[in-house]
Amino acid sequence: MEVDSLPAITPQLRLRLDQDTNERSLQGEDSLAAIAVEQARRGANALLQGFRLLGEGQIIRVYIDNGIASRGNWPAVICGKQYMMRAGWADLAVQTNAAVIPMAAAIYQDGSFELKFLPALKLSNQDHTREEKIGQLIEQYAQFLSYAYQEYPWSFGWRVMENHYKMPDVAPE
């Protein structure tokens, strides 16, 4: 099965805040609220679609946006910085018992690229609550992102890295 034939779900919504002839203009607090409502609507639709596809035994790709705009409720430490991550993808995995397989992608200056599939994230004990399982997946995903940031820093956009350095530092233990 080719990667392009896999269903892809993503709750990410990109709306520009500047005027363009082919885009709607968004300005002021009402527009920011509209963006939040639209992101929530699209996120819910994507999760429902993912739940249905996984229930049918299909494979899905989920793009997790924790680099620029995501502001969730789950704390995670990535390369010594405190993030608050969204967990819809982890909740979907817990509810459907789907494997979460992290993938790092690097594009090199010569135009070649590398895709590295890492081992599936694991839940240490099936007796944990749903919330604890989600927390385990979030923590492992944060470890994966720390690895990817350190191993392939050139593969992340400047805005992602700029945002990373704006996050609060976490004191080492």
Residue-level pLDDT at 81:
92
In which domain, by residue range, is 172 found? 64-173
Looking at the fold, whether 95 and 108 belong to one and the same domain comes out as yes
Segment 4-26, tens digit of pLDDT: 444 444 443 333 333 333 334 44
- Model pTM greater than 0.85? no
DSSP string, 72-95: -SEEEEETTEEEEE--HHHHHHHH
Segment 75-120, tens digit of pLDDT: 999 999 999 888 888 888 888 888 888 888 888 888 888 888 888 8
Looking at the fold, whether 10 and 50 belong to one and the same domain comes out as yes
Q: Count the domains in the chain.
A: 2
Answer with the residue of higher pLDDT: 81 or 64. Answer: 81
Looking at the fold, whether 139 and 154 belong to one and the same domain comes out as yes
